[in-house]
């Protein structure tokens, strides 16, 4: 792979989207015409203040979603994965999000290697998830609930580089959460800032997660109380499932939530969730996926309320003043709120 191909892959993996792709193309054309000496440093500097589409957001408002570091639908060379982490750090991104699920530990290993190699003393916040234990096949017991569709070689497995000697075992108990943290810490090799309960969206997973005596959330709250991690979060696909959890657990249990999609021009199903999180002072991150040059976007998250001037710690601890940055009209539209089941004419106050 040439250096230019690597830069293309890095942009695609970061999922920065059309504006970054256009910038990359223009810089390369200028370089071909010998009108500019295009270096990686120049690209990084350009990206730091690059608006994302027609929004007030900058790259530094993003969370680097690291699922693609394991290679989604196609393999990804490890050196490209590590360079992607470096590019994100150089661009000013502070938050990195991964999970045992992504390549059954491969994303965690590469994310940890990239941060250890390239952080150079710079602050970062690393998030991973619980709900799946990655077990050697030889260690599986009869009572283990294997997630067969994500085993290497299964038609449902979207990570072609998934190791063949391990399987994902579903475990949404407090004991499982502790074990998942220990395993992730070993794979990552760098400190973990926060833990999210991952994909607890069927009744079995949800009931185990919410068990007040032995559930995953109970375990995460214990880890936070002990100072092992700083934050407890959720990482789900469905806003209504997140709402159900928020309305079930005691206030103060959840620090933030991550929802895949559900807030864009075609899908505003997260409207009620945004209102609820604002009322409770809970931060929200959305997963954004875009098609970029070089393949599918790897995913970036945006946490409303973050500002570049805040210290990394303060940026997470203080809740947003508004659910959204920018014009509020789409969010406060009465017809939208009625469709989402929110009562009243306006949500943001």
Q: What is the CATH classification number for the domain harbouring 51? A: 3.20.20.100
Q: What is the three-class DSSP state of 215?
A: strand
Give the per-residue pLDDT at 201: 94
* 62: in domain: yes
CB-CB contact of 249 with 240 (8 Å)? no
Give the per-residue pLDDT at 239: 94
Query: Which residues of the chain, if any, have pLDDT below 50?
Result: 4, 15-21, 35-38, 290-300, 302-349
* 207: in domain: yes
* 82: in domain: yes
* 347: in domain: no
Give the per-residue pLDDT at 213: 96
Could you report how far apart the first and last alpha carbons of the chain are, in Å? 52
CB-CB contact of 194 with 233 (8 Å)? yes
Give the per-residue pLDDT at 31: 57
| Full residue range of the structural domain in which residue 226 is found | 3-340
Each residue's pLDDT tens digit, 66-125: 999 999 999 999 999 999 999 999 888 889 999 999 999 999 999 999 999 999 989 999
Each residue's pLDDT tens digit, 234-260: 999 999 999 999 999 999 999 999 998
Give the per-residue pLDDT at 266: 81
CB-CB contact of 299 with 309 (8 Å)? no
Rounded Cα distance between 267 and 136, Å, is 39
Structure tokens at 55: 């929004």
* 288: in domain: yes
Domain total of the chain: 1
* 345: in domain: no
Rounded Cα distance between 189 and 343, Å, is 47
* 348: in domain: no
């Amino acid at each position: 792979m040439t250096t230019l191909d690597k830069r293309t892959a890095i942009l695609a993996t970061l999922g920065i989207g059309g504006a970054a792709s256009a910038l990359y193309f223009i810089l390369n054309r200028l370089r071909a015409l010998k009108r500019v000496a295009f270096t990686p440093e120049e690209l990084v500097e350009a990206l730091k203040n690059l608006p994302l589409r027609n929004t007030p957001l900058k790259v530094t408002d993003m969370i680097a979603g690291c699922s693609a570091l394991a290679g989604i639908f196609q393999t990804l060379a490890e050196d490209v994965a590590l360079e992607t982490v470096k590019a994100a750090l150089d661009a000013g991104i502070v938050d990195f999000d991964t999970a045992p699920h992504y390549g059954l530990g491969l994303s965690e290993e590469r994310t940890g290697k990239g941060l250890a190699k390239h952080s150079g003393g710079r602050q970062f916040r690393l998030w991973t998830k619980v709900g799946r234990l990655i077990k050697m096949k030889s260690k599986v017991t009869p009572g283990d609930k294997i997630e067969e569709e994500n085993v290497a070689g299964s038609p449902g497995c979207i990570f072609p580089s998934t190791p063949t000697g391990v399987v994902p075992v579903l475990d949404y108990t407090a004991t499982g959460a502790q074990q998942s943290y220990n395993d992730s810490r070993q794979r990552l090799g760098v400190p973990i800032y926060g833990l999210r309960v991952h994909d607890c969206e069927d009744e079995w997973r949800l009931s185990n997660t919410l068990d007040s005596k032995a559930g995953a959330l109970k375990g995460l709250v214990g880890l936070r109380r002990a100072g092992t991690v700083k934050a407890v979060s959720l990482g789900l696909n469905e806003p209504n499932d997140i709402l159900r959890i928020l309305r079930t657990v005691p206030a103060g249990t959840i620090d933030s939530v991550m929802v895949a999609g559900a807030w864009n021009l075609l899908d505003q199903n997260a409207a009620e969730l945004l209102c609820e999180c604002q009322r409770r002072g809970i931060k929200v991150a959305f997963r954004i996926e875009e098609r970029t040059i070089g393949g599918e976007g790897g995913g970036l998250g945006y946490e409303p309320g973050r500002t570049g001037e805040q210290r990394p710690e303060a940026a997470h601890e203080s809740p947003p003043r508004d659910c959204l940055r920018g014009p509020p009209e789409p969010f406060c539209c009465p017809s939208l709120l009625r469709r989402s089941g929110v009562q009243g004419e306006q949500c943001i106050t």
